[in-house]
Amino acid sequence: MANAYYATQTNRTLNIGELPGLSHNLESYRAYQWEVEISTPDNEDDSILTLAAKQVSELGFTSEDIVAERVNDKFFYPGKVTPEEVTITFDNLVKGQIAEKLFSWISSVYDPINGVFTPEFVQGAGVFKRQISLYMLDNMMFPVKHVRLYGAYPKSWKLSEFNYSTNEFHTLQVTIRYDFLVQYDGLD
C-alpha cells in the first residue's frame, strides 16, 4: 500500500554521472502564464479584445446553505449559487487606447454624459453583457485550459492613483459582475 504514494514512485538512486529523474506530474499551472480576452460585439469586425492585464482576482462562485433544523440537529443542503465579482487590473498603456476601450464598455452600462443606464440595451443597438475568457498557458505559451465568464458586464471602472513620488506604471481596474462561469479543457 505504501507504493501508492508519489514519494515512493520515483527513483532517487544517484549513479555516477546521472541525476535523478524529475517528474512533472505534480506541477501546477503558473499564476503568471495567462491571457484575458473580452468579446467586443460592438466593433464593426466582431473582434476579440486581448488586453495587457496585470492581475485578475479570484474567480468562483459560492453556494448558499439551506438549513433544516430538526429538534437539536441541523442539516445543510445546497441552495442558490452566487457568482463572485472579479477585478481585473490592466496596464494603462500609452498605445492601444486601453482606458478608452474599457470606458466605452462601462459607458454601455451607464452613460455618464447623458445620465442614462444601459443606453445600448434600451435602443436595441447592442448588448452590454459580454463573454470574457481567461486562458491558462503551458510552458510553451499554448492555451491548455480556460475559464469563460458568461453575461459579464463592468460594474466599476477606476484609474489608479496619480502619484509623482512612485516609480510604477499606471494601471486601471475594472470590476466585473457575471451570470455564471464554466471551466473548459482546451480551447473550446
CATH, residue 78 = 2.30.110.20
In a domain, residue 21? The reply is no
User: Cβ(38)–Cβ(132) under 8 Å?
Assistant: yes
Mean pLDDT of 170-174: 88
Per the domain annotation, does 25 fall within a domain? Answer: no
Residue 17 scores a pLDDT above 70: no
Whether residue 4 is contained in a domain is answered as: no
The tally of domains found in the chain comes to: 1
- Give the model's confidence band at 4: pLDDT under 50 very low, under 70 low, under 90 confident, else very high: low
Q: What is the pLDDT of residue 175?
A: 94
In a domain, 26, yes or no: no
The residue among 66, 55, 84 whose CA lies nearest residue 179 is 84
pLDDT at position 125: 47
* pLDDT > 70: percent of the chain: 72
10 within some domain: no
59 lies in which domain range?
34-185
- Judge whether 121 lies within some domain: yes
Residue 178 · residue 133 · CB < 8 Å? no
pLDDT, tens digit (0-9, with 9 covering 90-100), for 93-114: 766 677 788 888 888 788 888 7
The C-alpha torsion from 87 through 93 and 96 to 100, rounded to 10°, is 60
Residue 12 resides in a domain: no
7, with CB counted inside 10 A (0-12, 13-18, 19+), is: exposed
Task: Answer yes or no: are the C-beta atoms of 181 and 147 closer than 8 Å.
Answer: yes
Rounded distance between C-alpha atoms, residue 130 and residue 35, angstroms: 16
- Which triple of cell numbers denotes residue 85? 465579482
Q: What is the pTM of this model?
A: 0.74
User: Looking at the domain assignment, is residue 142 inside a domain?
Assistant: yes
Most confident residue range from 9-23, 37-51, 85-99: 85-99
Strands (E), the chain: 34-39, 48-51, 53-56, 61-70, 73-83, 86-91, 110-111, 116-117, 130-137, 143-159, 171-177, 180-185
